[in-house]
């Protein structure tokens, strides 16, 4: 089974500061990689995905992530945090091949944005 590690269960930044949320996966074959955001009492919304094209992926709400095979990482960044970015963020992977698209999630990172 896949393993996903999100370093830091809580990250706090000031409004306007850089957001960096870390994600590492454990697989010799690069999986499909995703970042999801979850606001309180809501479902998960896809921010961005990496399949096999460009290693720098742009998503919604100004977020982007860079796939680095040598580091088995897929960190999420945003140049300037906004109060509305406060939420729980999950990194997830699914294996290539016929695995029915099941997702393996990291433990999540709670992002707090201070005014």
Q: What are the residues binding another protein (CB under 8 A)?
A: 32, 34, 36, 41-46, 49, 51-53, 90, 94, 100-103, 105-108
Question: What is the C-alpha to C-alpha distance for residues 28 and 25, in angstroms, rounded to an integer?
Answer: 9
Our CB check for another protein shows the closer of 43 and 115 to be 43
Contact 110, 84 (CB under 8 A): no
**Minimum distance from CB of 12 to another protein (Å)?**
16
- Cβ-based burial of 10 (10 A; exposed 0-12, middle 13-18, buried ≥19): exposed
**Minimum distance from CB of 105 to another protein (Å)?**
4
Our CB check for another protein shows the closer of 14 and 45 to be 45
Q: How far is CA 20 from the centre of its chain?
A: 10
Question: What is the C-alpha to C-alpha distance for residues 13 and 35, in angstroms, rounded to an integer?
Answer: 19
Our CB check for another protein shows the closer of 24 and 105 to be 105
**Minimum distance from CB of 96 to another protein (Å)?**
9
Our CB check for another protein shows the closer of 15 and 95 to be 95
Among residues 10, 13, 36, the alpha carbon closest in space to that of 93 is found at 36
**Minimum distance from CB of 15 to another protein (Å)?**
24
């Amino acid at each position: 089974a896949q393993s996903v590690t999100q370093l830091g269960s809580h990250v706090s930044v000031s409004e306007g500061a850089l957001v960096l949320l870390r994600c590492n996966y454990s697989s010799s074959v690069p999986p499909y990689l995703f970042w999801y955001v979850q606001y309180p009492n809501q479902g998960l919304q896809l921010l961005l995905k990496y399949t096999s094209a460009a290693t720098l992926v742009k998503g919604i709400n100004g977020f982007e992530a860079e796939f680095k095979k040598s580091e088995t990482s897929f960190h999420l960044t945003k140049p300037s945090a906004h109060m509305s970015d406060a939420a729980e963020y999950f990194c997830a992977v699914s294996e290539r091949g016929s695995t029915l698209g099941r997702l393996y999630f990291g433990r999540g990172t709670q992002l707090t944005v201070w005014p």
